[in-house]
Structure formats: C-alpha cells, structure tokens
C-alpha cells in the first residue's frame, strides 16, 4: 500500500462461547469466524509477531497457534510491525484523535 486509504486495521475478537472473529475496519461483516473450535471461553488473543497468525488461549488452559495461509495476506494485506520505523506516523495518520496513546 502506498496511500493512507490503502491501509486498514484488522482486529481479532474472542467470545465466551469459544468463538473467534477477525474483522477488517473497512468491512461491515467479519472476514473470518471460527465456530466450534474452542471448547471454552477465549481468554486472550495475540497476533503472531510477523502478523501471520494468532495465538489464542482459552479458559480450559489450551493455547492454540492459528497460522494463516498466504491467501490471508493476499486478502488482508501485509502486516506492519510495531517496530517498523513508519508505524507511529501511520498510526497517528489513521487515528489522529488518540491523544495520550503511547506507542
């Protein structure tokens, strides 16, 4: 992406029903919904450092790595790492009203 309009935020959300949804900020419906995979409530979610998957923990103590195929990067785009030198400027451009947020 070269223009600000080409960027988007991708968010992963877990539920007490053990569901997982991945949302794109430019869409009204989730990109991906995972049902009946986790037996108990999702307690934590973290993006893989390379942006290529999710690490998900559940109330039953199970921790799962969901590794995405190349098709996900083609659909969602390349992840920008938080240690990328351009990250802070891009974040402030996308979310100018986030005063007091430390990167």
Beta sheet of 32-34, edge-to-edge order: 10-14, 20-24, 32-34
Q: State both tokens at 35.
A: 């049902």
pLDDT value, residue 60: 93
Q: What is the mean pLDDT of each run of 10 residues along the chain (103 residues)?
A: 71 94 90 90 90 91 88 74 77 71 54
pLDDT value, residue 98: 66
pLDDT value, residue 102: 56
């Amino acid at each position: 992406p070269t223009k600000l309009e080409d960027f988007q935020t991708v968010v992963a959300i877990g539920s007490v029903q053990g569901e997982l949804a991945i949302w794109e900020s430019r869409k009204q419906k989730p990109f991906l919904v995972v049902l009946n995979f986790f037996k108990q409530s999702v307690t934590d979610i973290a993006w893989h450092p390379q942006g290529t998957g999710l690490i998900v923990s559940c109330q039953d103590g199970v921790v799962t790595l969901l590794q995405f195929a190349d098709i996900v990067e083609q659909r969602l785009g390349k992840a920008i790492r938080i240690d990328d030198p351009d990250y802070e400027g891009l974040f402030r451009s996308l979310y100018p009203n986030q005063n007091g947020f430390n990167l």
